[in-house]
Amino acid sequence: MNIQDSQSNPLEAIGLSKNEARLYCSLVEHNSTTVSELFKNTGVHRRNIYDSLERLLEKGLIFQVLEAKENTYKAVHPQKLYEMLREREAAASPTIDVLTKSFETQPQTDAAFIYKGREGYKNYMRDLVRVGEPVYFLGAKALWFTPGMDLRFLTDFQKTMKKQEKQYKTLFDPRVPDELPEAMEKVGGQYKVLPKGAETVGVMDVFGDYVVSFTSAGVGDFGEDGKIFVTINRDLADSYRTWFDLIWDSIK
Protein backbone atom coordinates (compact mmCIF):
# COMPACT_ATOMS: atom_id res chain seq x y z
CA MET A 1 0.00 0.00 0.00
CA ASN A 2 1.38 3.41 -0.99
CA ILE A 3 0.30 5.63 1.90
CA GLN A 4 1.37 8.86 0.24
CA ASP A 5 -1.14 8.26 -2.56
CA SER A 6 -4.07 8.09 -0.14
CA GLN A 7 -6.63 10.89 -0.12
CA SER A 8 -6.05 11.40 3.61
CA ASN A 9 -2.67 10.47 5.03
CA PRO A 10 -2.92 9.08 8.59
CA LEU A 11 0.25 10.95 9.53
CA GLU A 12 -1.66 14.22 9.26
CA ALA A 13 -3.49 13.17 12.44
CA ILE A 14 -0.27 13.49 14.47
CA GLY A 15 0.65 16.93 13.26
CA LEU A 16 2.25 16.54 9.83
CA SER A 17 1.03 18.68 6.97
CA LYS A 18 -0.10 16.96 3.79
CA ASN A 19 3.18 17.73 2.05
CA GLU A 20 5.28 16.69 5.05
CA ALA A 21 3.44 13.37 5.23
CA ARG A 22 3.91 12.70 1.51
CA LEU A 23 7.62 13.54 1.64
CA TYR A 24 8.27 11.45 4.74
CA CYS A 25 6.50 8.42 3.24
CA SER A 26 8.49 8.85 0.04
CA LEU A 27 11.75 9.02 1.98
CA VAL A 28 10.89 5.84 3.85
CA GLU A 29 9.98 4.10 0.62
CA HIS A 30 13.09 5.19 -1.32
CA ASN A 31 15.59 5.22 1.57
CA SER A 32 17.80 8.11 0.44
CA THR A 33 16.45 10.82 -1.86
CA THR A 34 17.37 14.19 -3.34
CA VAL A 35 15.03 17.12 -3.79
CA SER A 36 14.84 16.36 -7.52
CA GLU A 37 13.83 12.78 -6.80
CA LEU A 38 11.30 13.89 -4.20
CA PHE A 39 9.70 16.19 -6.78
CA LYS A 40 9.53 13.28 -9.24
CA ASN A 41 8.18 10.79 -6.68
CA THR A 42 5.62 12.99 -4.93
CA GLY A 43 4.67 15.79 -7.34
CA VAL A 44 5.06 18.34 -4.53
CA HIS A 45 6.28 21.71 -5.86
CA ARG A 46 10.00 22.31 -5.31
CA ARG A 47 9.45 25.44 -3.22
CA ASN A 48 7.07 23.53 -0.96
CA ILE A 49 9.53 20.63 -0.77
CA TYR A 50 12.23 22.84 0.74
CA ASP A 51 9.81 24.33 3.30
CA SER A 52 8.43 20.89 4.25
CA LEU A 53 11.89 19.34 4.53
CA GLU A 54 12.90 22.13 6.90
CA ARG A 55 9.91 21.38 9.13
CA LEU A 56 10.60 17.63 9.01
CA LEU A 57 14.19 18.35 10.09
CA GLU A 58 12.90 20.45 13.01
CA LYS A 59 10.58 17.62 14.05
CA GLY A 60 13.45 15.14 13.95
CA LEU A 61 11.77 12.91 11.37
CA ILE A 62 14.51 13.18 8.75
CA PHE A 63 18.19 14.10 8.52
CA GLN A 64 20.30 15.63 5.80
CA VAL A 65 23.26 13.92 4.15
CA LEU A 66 25.75 16.42 2.74
CA GLU A 67 27.13 15.44 -0.63
CA ALA A 68 29.19 17.17 -3.32
CA LYS A 69 26.58 17.30 -6.08
CA GLU A 70 23.21 17.52 -4.33
CA ASN A 71 22.20 17.04 -0.73
CA THR A 72 20.14 13.96 0.03
CA TYR A 73 17.66 13.29 2.79
CA LYS A 74 16.91 10.16 4.78
CA ALA A 75 13.99 9.29 7.02
CA VAL A 76 14.39 8.57 10.71
CA HIS A 77 12.95 5.22 11.87
CA PRO A 78 9.10 5.37 11.81
CA GLN A 79 8.99 4.47 15.51
CA LYS A 80 9.73 8.17 16.01
CA LEU A 81 6.10 8.76 15.04
CA TYR A 82 4.95 6.87 18.15
CA GLU A 83 7.09 9.19 20.24
CA MET A 84 5.40 12.20 18.64
CA LEU A 85 1.99 10.65 19.24
CA ARG A 86 2.76 10.09 22.93
CA GLU A 87 4.03 13.66 23.28
CA ARG A 88 0.85 15.08 21.77
CA GLU A 89 -1.27 12.92 24.06
CA ALA A 90 0.73 13.95 27.14
CA ALA A 91 0.40 17.63 26.19
CA ALA A 92 -3.37 17.35 25.76
CA SER A 93 -4.12 15.16 28.80
CA PRO A 94 -4.24 17.94 31.47
CA THR A 95 -6.72 19.96 29.41
CA ILE A 96 -8.85 16.90 28.69
CA ASP A 97 -8.90 16.03 32.41
CA VAL A 98 -10.09 19.52 33.33
CA LEU A 99 -12.77 19.46 30.64
CA THR A 100 -13.90 15.99 31.71
CA LYS A 101 -14.26 17.06 35.33
CA SER A 102 -16.22 20.15 34.30
CA PHE A 103 -18.48 18.11 31.98
CA GLU A 104 -19.24 15.41 34.55
CA THR A 105 -20.00 17.84 37.40
CA GLN A 106 -22.65 19.70 35.40
CA PRO A 107 -26.18 18.97 36.67
CA GLN A 108 -28.11 16.55 34.46
CA THR A 109 -30.97 18.25 32.63
CA ASP A 110 -33.67 17.05 30.28
CA ALA A 111 -32.52 17.03 26.67
CA ALA A 112 -33.13 15.55 23.25
CA PHE A 113 -30.51 15.33 20.52
CA ILE A 114 -29.24 13.24 17.62
CA TYR A 115 -25.95 11.43 17.10
CA LYS A 116 -25.04 10.82 13.45
CA GLY A 117 -22.98 8.18 11.67
CA ARG A 118 -20.36 5.86 13.09
CA GLU A 119 -18.71 8.58 15.14
CA GLY A 120 -22.10 9.27 16.67
CA TYR A 121 -22.47 5.57 17.44
CA LYS A 122 -19.10 5.66 19.21
CA ASN A 123 -20.32 8.63 21.28
CA TYR A 124 -23.38 6.64 22.27
CA MET A 125 -21.23 3.69 23.38
CA ARG A 126 -19.08 6.04 25.43
CA ASP A 127 -22.27 7.29 27.12
CA LEU A 128 -23.06 3.73 28.17
CA VAL A 129 -19.72 3.49 29.95
CA ARG A 130 -19.78 7.01 31.38
CA VAL A 131 -23.27 6.70 32.89
CA GLY A 132 -22.49 3.26 34.34
CA GLU A 133 -26.08 2.33 35.20
CA PRO A 134 -28.05 -0.88 34.44
CA VAL A 135 -28.83 -1.14 30.74
CA TYR A 136 -31.84 -2.59 28.93
CA PHE A 137 -31.36 -3.43 25.24
CA LEU A 138 -34.56 -4.05 23.24
CA GLY A 139 -34.47 -5.43 19.69
CA ALA A 140 -30.68 -5.70 19.95
CA LYS A 141 -28.87 -6.49 16.68
CA ALA A 142 -25.40 -7.25 18.12
CA LEU A 143 -24.15 -3.96 16.72
CA TRP A 144 -21.05 -4.13 18.92
CA PHE A 145 -19.68 -6.31 16.12
CA THR A 146 -20.18 -3.79 13.30
CA PRO A 147 -17.35 -4.31 10.74
CA GLY A 148 -14.46 -1.97 11.46
CA MET A 149 -15.74 -1.07 14.94
CA ASP A 150 -13.21 -1.40 17.75
CA LEU A 151 -14.25 -4.17 20.15
CA ARG A 152 -12.71 -2.09 22.91
CA PHE A 153 -16.10 -0.38 23.24
CA LEU A 154 -17.67 -3.69 24.25
CA THR A 155 -14.86 -4.70 26.62
CA ASP A 156 -14.88 -1.26 28.28
CA PHE A 157 -18.63 -1.55 28.77
CA GLN A 158 -18.34 -5.05 30.24
CA LYS A 159 -15.55 -3.97 32.60
CA THR A 160 -17.59 -0.98 33.78
CA MET A 161 -20.68 -3.09 34.45
CA LYS A 162 -18.58 -5.59 36.40
CA LYS A 163 -16.75 -2.92 38.40
CA GLN A 164 -19.96 -1.03 39.22
CA GLU A 165 -21.77 -4.32 39.92
CA LYS A 166 -24.49 -3.31 37.49
CA GLN A 167 -26.60 -5.67 35.41
CA TYR A 168 -27.57 -5.43 31.78
CA LYS A 169 -30.35 -7.27 30.01
CA THR A 170 -30.66 -7.85 26.28
CA LEU A 171 -33.70 -8.82 24.26
CA PHE A 172 -32.20 -9.85 20.93
CA ASP A 173 -33.85 -9.48 17.55
CA PRO A 174 -35.06 -12.96 16.41
CA ARG A 175 -32.55 -12.95 13.52
CA VAL A 176 -29.47 -12.80 15.75
CA PRO A 177 -29.42 -16.52 16.71
CA ASP A 178 -29.44 -17.44 13.01
CA GLU A 179 -27.14 -14.77 11.58
CA LEU A 180 -24.69 -14.08 14.42
CA PRO A 181 -25.27 -16.70 17.15
CA GLU A 182 -21.86 -16.31 18.81
CA ALA A 183 -22.63 -12.66 19.59
CA MET A 184 -25.09 -13.47 22.36
CA GLU A 185 -22.52 -15.18 24.58
CA LYS A 186 -19.84 -12.64 23.72
CA VAL A 187 -22.05 -9.73 24.75
CA GLY A 188 -22.72 -11.40 28.08
CA GLY A 189 -25.15 -10.27 30.73
CA GLN A 190 -28.65 -11.68 30.87
CA TYR A 191 -30.34 -12.18 27.53
CA LYS A 192 -33.39 -13.57 25.82
CA VAL A 193 -34.52 -13.65 22.19
CA LEU A 194 -37.69 -11.98 20.95
CA PRO A 195 -40.15 -14.39 19.28
CA LYS A 196 -40.30 -14.90 15.53
CA GLY A 197 -42.36 -12.17 13.94
CA ALA A 198 -40.79 -9.48 16.12
CA GLU A 199 -38.02 -8.71 13.62
CA THR A 200 -37.64 -4.95 13.16
CA VAL A 201 -35.04 -2.45 11.96
CA GLY A 202 -35.36 -0.58 15.24
CA VAL A 203 -33.32 -0.72 18.43
CA MET A 204 -34.13 0.84 21.80
CA ASP A 205 -31.77 1.07 24.78
CA VAL A 206 -32.47 2.47 28.24
CA PHE A 207 -29.88 3.36 30.88
CA GLY A 208 -29.93 5.93 33.66
CA ASP A 209 -32.04 8.84 32.42
CA TYR A 210 -31.34 7.94 28.79
CA VAL A 211 -33.74 6.51 26.22
CA VAL A 212 -31.90 5.82 22.97
CA SER A 213 -33.55 4.65 19.75
CA PHE A 214 -32.18 4.10 16.28
CA THR A 215 -32.25 1.84 13.25
CA SER A 216 -29.48 -0.41 11.98
CA ALA A 217 -28.31 -1.65 8.61
CA GLY A 218 -28.77 -5.20 9.81
CA VAL A 219 -27.62 -7.77 12.33
CA GLY A 220 -24.07 -6.97 13.40
CA ASP A 221 -23.92 -3.85 11.25
CA PHE A 222 -24.84 -0.33 12.35
CA GLY A 223 -24.19 0.99 8.85
CA GLU A 224 -22.44 4.16 7.74
CA ASP A 225 -25.03 6.92 7.98
CA GLY A 226 -27.36 5.98 10.81
CA LYS A 227 -28.98 8.44 13.20
CA ILE A 228 -29.32 7.83 16.96
CA PHE A 229 -32.12 9.68 18.75
CA VAL A 230 -31.25 10.37 22.38
CA THR A 231 -33.73 11.56 25.00
CA ILE A 232 -32.67 12.34 28.57
CA ASN A 233 -35.60 12.29 30.97
CA ARG A 234 -35.93 10.24 34.15
CA ASP A 235 -39.72 9.72 33.99
CA LEU A 236 -39.58 8.58 30.37
CA ALA A 237 -36.68 6.23 31.09
CA ASP A 238 -38.55 4.73 34.05
CA SER A 239 -41.58 4.16 31.81
CA TYR A 240 -39.54 2.31 29.20
CA ARG A 241 -37.90 0.18 31.89
CA THR A 242 -41.38 -0.86 33.10
CA TRP A 243 -42.41 -1.82 29.57
CA PHE A 244 -39.15 -3.65 29.01
CA ASP A 245 -39.71 -5.74 32.15
CA LEU A 246 -43.20 -6.67 30.97
CA ILE A 247 -41.81 -7.94 27.66
CA TRP A 248 -38.91 -9.70 29.41
CA ASP A 249 -41.19 -11.54 31.80
CA SER A 250 -43.46 -12.67 28.95
CA ILE A 251 -40.59 -14.47 27.19
CA LYS A 252 -39.35 -17.79 28.49
Q: What is the pLDDT of residues 197-252, one digit of tens each?
A: 999 999 999 999 999 999 988 999 999 888 999 999 999 999 999 999 999 999 98
112 and 226 part of one domain: yes
Q: What is the CATH number of the domain that holds 50?
A: 1.10.10.10
Same domain, 69 and 158: no
Average pLDDT over residues 156-181: 96
Residues 140 and 242 in one domain: yes
Q: Of residues 82 and 203, which shows the higher confidence score?
A: 203
Together in a domain, 36 and 126: no
Q: What are phi and psi of 195, to 5 degrees?
A: -70, 155
The pLDDT tens digits of the residues spanning 35-63 come to 888 888 888 988 899 899 999 999 889 88
Do the domain assignments include residue 4?
no
Q: How far apart are CA 236 and CA 246, in angstroms?
A: 16
Same domain for 133 and 19: no
Residues 117 and 236 in one domain: yes
pLDDT the model gives residue 160 = 94
Same domain, 48 and 146: no
Strand ranges of the sheet holding 62-65, from the earlier edge strand across to the other edge? 32-34, 72-75, 62-65
Mean of the per-residue pLDDT values for the chain? 89
Residue 163 predicted with pLDDT over 90: yes
The CATH number of residue 178's host domain is 3.30.870.10
Same domain? 206 vs 122? yes
Give the residue among 192, 251, 179, 164 at the shortest CA–CA distance from 221.
179
* Model confidence band, residue 1 (pLDDT cutoffs 50, 70, 90): very low
- Rounded to whole angstroms, the Cα distance separating 79 from 61 reads 10
Whether residue 69 is predicted with pLDDT greater than 80 in this model: the reply is: no
Tell me the mean pLDDT in the region 151-174: 95
pTM attached to this predicted model:
0.64
Domain closes at, from 31, 64, 81: 81
| 70 shares its domain with 112 | no
pLDDT-derived band at 66 (thresholds 50, 70, 90) equals: confident
- Per-residue pLDDT, averaged over 142-153, amounts to 94
Which sign does the torsion angle of CA 21, 26, 27, 33 carry?
A: negative
> Is the pLDDT confidence value at 2 over 70?
no
Residues 118, 232 within the same domain: yes
Q: Write out pLDDT tens, residues 88-107.
A: 888 888 888 887 777 667 66
Which of 46, 81, 116 is where one domain is finished? 81
Is residue 62 included in any domain, yes or no? yes
139 is a domain residue: yes
In total, how many domains does the chain have?
2
Full domain range(s) for residue 225: 108-250
Q: pLDDT digits over 108-139, tens only?
A: 678 899 999 999 999 999 999 999 999 999 99
